[in-house]
Amino acid sequence: MTGKGNNSSSRLKSRFRGALIGSAVGDALGAPVEGCTMEEVSSFFGGRWELKSAHYTDDTEMMIGVAESLIERRGFDAADMACKFLRNYHAWRHYGPGTRAVLERLKAGESWEEASTKVFNGEGSYGNGAAMRIAPIGLFYYDDPDTLWEVAYKASHITHSHVLGKEGAAIQAYSVALALRGERGGMLTYLGARIKEERYRDKLAKIEQFMGMDADPGANSYKKALIEELGNGEAAFNSVPTAIYSFLRFYSFSDSVIYAVSLGGDTDTIGAMTGAISGAYYGEEAIPPEWLRALEGGMRGRRYIEWLGDELYRIKIIHDSY
């Protein structure tokens, strides 16, 4: 373990929680401005980066399903995870059209192997809907990158059968795992050793270029160039690399997540993915308490998400050590 991390069990537990709750908080921060331009985001928040809405969206609702399934099945079970997605679905959380169509097919009785392959003219989705929910898999398989990569692909397939949707989710899951292990400086090298798809190899090179630039990342011209090169959209390859960059470029949970949201575009999702990586790295204590307090409560709110993090930790770390 390197970087800011240490091995103590309470730190690790906090990082499990941090990844899940960090993702939910990033989602909720970005939700009211999803689809807005950088300028619109800036005028909406007016320099006060608060959770204007308590509610999380589909990103977190699906992440909850991934965590629930891993916990209940003590590992990956595609059919069960598909059931959890269906059971948890609420249209008002604003799902992507491809995922909605797949869930309809599942509800109508189509198998989880088939349903996702029918959308987008049979090409399957490369949207970021698989990556946005993948954090629990990054936690559960953090010490086994081969299995992590394989399971991330399989878990993506339930809704996203396009290879670029799956690879994006695997990259996001591995980033969460590396962050949990305290790997910051080596993150891009580790990712580079696994990424197969050219589209993502190009993006990785661009992240490195931006990291090496001696310029103010907050300047509008810089942000515009970043959006142009890395992207801020709903395709996995236009959002996962932006989340990784947002984590790496800054040195606190809030700076990274605020930056991700400030870029506009798919703000809830890039916020959620940045929040998952940053939360896994810094732990729950690093999340601004006012953001935690503002996040929705209730049966499936903040406390429940924290409990899911605790359960994943208990099964993975405590149970494994017996």
Contact between 235 and ligand R7I by CB under 6 A: the answer reads yes
Q: How many CB atoms are located within 10 Å of the residue 192 CB? A: 13
Does 284 bind Mg ion (CB under 5 A)? Our answer is no
Contacts of 267 (CB under 8 A, 6+ apart): 29, 30, 31, 33, 34, 35, 36, 41, 232, 260, 261
> In terms of CB distance, is 129 or 182 closer to Mg ion?
129
Among residues 61, 68, 268, 284, the one that binds Mg ion under rule CB under 5 A: 268
Give the one residue of 126, 149, 237, 253 binding ligand R7I; rule: CB under 6 A: 126
Q: Is 7 helix (H, G, I), strand (E, B) or coil?
A: coil
The answer to whether residue 61 forms part of the interface with Mg ion (CB under 5 A) is no
Q: Which does 125 bind (CB under 5 to 8 A by kind): Mg ion, ligand R7I, none?
A: ligand R7I
Stretch that binds Mg ion, among 58-66, 108-116, 217-225, 307-315 (CB under 5 A): 58-66
For ligand R7I, the closer of residues 15 and 162 by Cβ is: 162
Give the nearer residue to Mg ion in terms of CB position, either 35 or 192: 35
Region of 149-157, 164-172, 252-260, 267-275 interacting with Mg ion (CB under 5 A): 267-275
Residue 180 structure tokens: 């949990």
Please tell me whether residue 268 binds ligand R7I under the rule CB under 6 A: yes
Residue 238 CB, shortest distance to ligand R7I, in Å, is 9
Applying CB under 6 A, does 85 fall inside the site for ligand R7I?
Answer: no
- Among the listed residues 11, 73, 94, 249, the single contact to ligand R7I using CB under 6 A: 94
Residue 57, interface with Mg ion (CB under 5 A)?
yes
First to last CA, the chain: 22
By CB under 5 A, is residue 269 in contact with Mg ion? yes
3-state helix, strand, coil in the chain (%, to 5): 70, 0, 30
- Which x/- pattern over 105-124 shows residues binding ligand R7I (rule: CB under 6 A)? ---------------x--x-
CB of 172 to ligand R7I, least distance (A): 12
User: Rounded distance, CA 160 to CA 154, Å?
Assistant: 9
Where along the sequence are the contacts to ligand R7I (CB under 6 A)? 57-59, 94-99, 120, 123, 125-129, 132, 162, 234-235, 266, 268-269
